[in-house]
């Protein structure tokens, strides 16, 4: 989780720090609005804090930070409309438990649940599933505190153009105080994990993506192997055949053993290709569990990450180019490359706006130089009009980004209306959204 110690805030990955002028912890919307009003009157800035799980400097500020953790209550459940309304600071983990207790669930999630719902929405956080969108497109209404401290209810009926844009606000379109999300009846997933040769997988990519509710894979650099995850809805009862084997695979191998391999690789990079061959598993594992427990993993090994959304049809070619580039450029990469898929949506700054998308994510173990590898990957993604995740490392600025989003202007107009004084600006928004 994010941390403020002795006045210094640090994100989860440990690659961003900030020394805010003050830290506020509002207990209700009135307090939140008063904090923003004061900042606007004083011509200073404020930044809402989520869980600090972004890798970019999106939360870094010399102005005041607003810790949203006390705004984390359930406001309403509307079963007829299949929606729930929650305060913006609730973590996805808490929201999952709360929904499960009501017999409900979010239809799709990313691979961790430590984020706050508003932090996840702000950066276009997504999971995988060819027919499913990222979390922001599941938002049906939200309440935001605008740059002058006024409170706005946004929905397709109230301020529709602001609502349209504010779902992925990159922290610049007001401070979200509550959000109404579309939910579905709680469901279980049958999760099958196995290994496949990358060439075969790329050949059969459409079958995999279209033939599963949630398909993703991890290519292991320096090998020809990929680990696949196929999650499908099922009515079967919860079944974890061997809890010890499950713990061994998920906690020991994916965290402790993997962490040890990464540490060794960081100390002796030339060993990485040999260590990588030990990673692919030849076996297959199957479990059935509640959807939210299948979606979210434990992440104990710290890293930095960059992720690009590209048109889905370009995925195989782009990935094979990354594979060749890693060999040709001699990058030593101990972390798998993760590949996921989503449906298009209509949110202006959603990374899947207007196009079925594939996501290619690269990672480097904490403390390892990442920039040469990430820049080489970014150069490949640029050939496919790749859009970087707003919460993950990237090197683009507003000029380049504006060309990647057809609805860029709609976002800018909403920003001008919600925050003309730039009360929510920081160096990151100046860079990626313009001043």
Ligand X SMILES: Cc1cc2nc3c(=O)[nH]c(=O)nc-3n(C[C@H](O)[C@H](O)[C@H](O)COP(=O)(O)OP(=O)(O)OC[C@H]3O[C@@H](n4cnc5c(N)ncnc54)[C@H](O)[C@@H]3O)c2cc1C
> What residues make contact with ligand X under the rule CB under 6 A?
2, 12-13, 47-54, 58-59, 68, 88, 110-112, 115-116, 118-120, 122-123, 125-126, 169, 171, 175-176, 299, 389, 391
Closest CA to 266 of 117, 370, 192: 370
| Cβ at position 371, least distance to ligand X in Å | 18
| Cβ at position 99, least distance to ligand X in Å | 17
Distance CA(405)–CA(314), nearest Å, equals: 18
Distance CA(65)–CA(89), nearest Å, equals: 13
Cβ closest to ligand X, residue 168 vs residue 378: 168
Quote the tokens at residue 280: 């692919």
Cβ closest to ligand X, residue 62 vs residue 239: 62
Q: Please list, in sequence order, all residues whose beta carbon lies within 8 angstroms of the beta carbon of residue 379, skipping any fewer than 6 positions away.
A: none
Closest CA to 334 of 397, 403, 274, 248: 274
Q: By three-state DSSP, how is residue 113 classified?
A: coil
* Residue 312 dihedral angles phi and psi, to the nearest 5°: -55, -40
Cβ closest to ligand X, residue 89 vs residue 316: 89
Burial profile 83-115: b = 16 or more Cβ within 10 angstroms, e = fewer: bbbbbbbbbbbbbbebbeeeebbbbbbbebbbb
| Cβ at position 282, least distance to ligand X in Å | 26
Q: For the chain, give the number of residues.
A: 435
| Cβ at position 102, least distance to ligand X in Å | 22
| Cβ at position 203, least distance to ligand X in Å | 26
Cβ closest to ligand X, residue 253 vs residue 271: 253
H/E run at residue 415: helix 408-418
Distance CA(78)–CA(180), nearest Å, equals: 10
Cβ closest to ligand X, residue 179 vs residue 268: 179
Q: By three-state DSSP, how is residue 78 classified?
A: strand
Distance CA(193)–CA(217), nearest Å, equals: 9
Cβ closest to ligand X, residue 273 vs residue 311: 311
Distance CA(407)–CA(234), nearest Å, equals: 38
Distance CA(40)–CA(423), nearest Å, equals: 6
Closest CA to 374 of 277, 308, 300: 308
| Cβ at position 110, least distance to ligand X in Å | 3
DSSP string, 258-319: HHHHHHHHHH-GGGHHHHHTTS---S-EEEEEEHHHHH-----S-EEEEEEEEEGGGHHHHH
Cβ closest to ligand X, residue 223 vs residue 351: 351
| Cβ at position 32, least distance to ligand X in Å | 9
Does residue 407 contact residue 166 with C-beta atoms inside 8 Å? Answer: no
Cβ closest to ligand X, residue 325 vs residue 421: 421
Cβ closest to ligand X, residue 125 vs residue 291: 125
Cβ closest to ligand X, residue 61 vs residue 223: 61
| Cβ at position 431, least distance to ligand X in Å | 13
| Cβ at position 62, least distance to ligand X in Å | 14
Cβ closest to ligand X, residue 308 vs residue 328: 308
| Cβ at position 94, least distance to ligand X in Å | 12
| Cβ at position 261, least distance to ligand X in Å | 17
Strands in 22-24's sheet, in edge-to-edge order, are 22-24, 64-67, 46-49
Does residue 231 contact residue 190 with C-beta atoms inside 8 Å? Answer: yes
* Helices (H), ranges, 102-150: 117-122
């Amino acid at each position: 989780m994010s941390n403020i110690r002795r006045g210094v805030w640090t994100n989860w990955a440990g690659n961003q720090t900030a020394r805010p002028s003050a830290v506020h912890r509002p207990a209700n919307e009135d307090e939140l609005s008063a904090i923003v009003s004061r900042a606007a009157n004083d011509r200073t800035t404020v930044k809402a804090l989520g869980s600090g799980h972004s890798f970019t400097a999106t939360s870094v500020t010399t102005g005041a930070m607003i810790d949203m953790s006390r705004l984390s209550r359930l406001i309403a459940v509307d079963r007829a409309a299949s929606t729930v309304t929650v305060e913006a600071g609730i973590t996805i983990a808490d929201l999952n438990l709360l929904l499960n207790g009501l017999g409900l669930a979010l239809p799709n999630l990313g691979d961790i649940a430590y984020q706050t719902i508003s932090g996840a929405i702000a950066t276009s956080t997504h999971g995988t599933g060819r027919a499913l969108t990222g979390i922001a497109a599941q938002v049906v209404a939200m309440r935001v505190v605008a740059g002058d401290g006024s409170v706005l209810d946004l929905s397709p009926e109230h301020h529709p153009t602001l609502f349209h844009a504010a779902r992925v606000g990159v922290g610049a379109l007001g401070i979200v105080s509550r959000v109404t999300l579309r939910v579905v009846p709680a469901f279980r997933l049958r999760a099958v994990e196995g290994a496949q040769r990358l060439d075969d997988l790329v050949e059969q990519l459409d079958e995999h993506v279209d033939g599963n509710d949630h398909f993703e894979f991890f290519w292991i650099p320096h090998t020809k192997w990929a680990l696949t995850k196929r999650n499908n809805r099922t009515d079967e009862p919860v079944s974890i055949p061997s809890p010890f084997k499950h713990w061994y695979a998920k906690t020991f191998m994916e965290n402790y053993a993997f962490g040890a391999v990464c540490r060794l690789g960081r100390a002796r990079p030339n060993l990485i290709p040999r260590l990588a061959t030990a990673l692919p598993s030849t076996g297959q594992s199957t479990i059935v569990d509640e959807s939210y427990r299948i979606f979210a993993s434990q992440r104990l090994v710290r890293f930095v990450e960059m992720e690009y959304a590209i048109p889905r049809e370009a995925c195989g070619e782009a990935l094979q180019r990354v594979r060749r580039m890693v060999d040709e450029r001699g990058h030593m990469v101990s972390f798998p490359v993760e590949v996921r898929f989503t449906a298009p949506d209509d949110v202006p700054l959603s990374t899947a706006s207007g196009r079925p998308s594939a996501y290619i994510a690269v990672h480097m173990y904490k403390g390892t130089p990442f920039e040469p590898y990430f820049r080489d990957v970014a150069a490949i993604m640029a050939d496919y009009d790749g859009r970087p995740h707003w919460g993950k490392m990237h090197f683009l600025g507003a000029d380049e980004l504006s060309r990647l989003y057809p609805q860029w202007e709609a976002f800018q107009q909403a920003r001008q209306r919600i925050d003309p004084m730039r009360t929510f600006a920081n160096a990151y928004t100046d860079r990626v959204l313009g001043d």
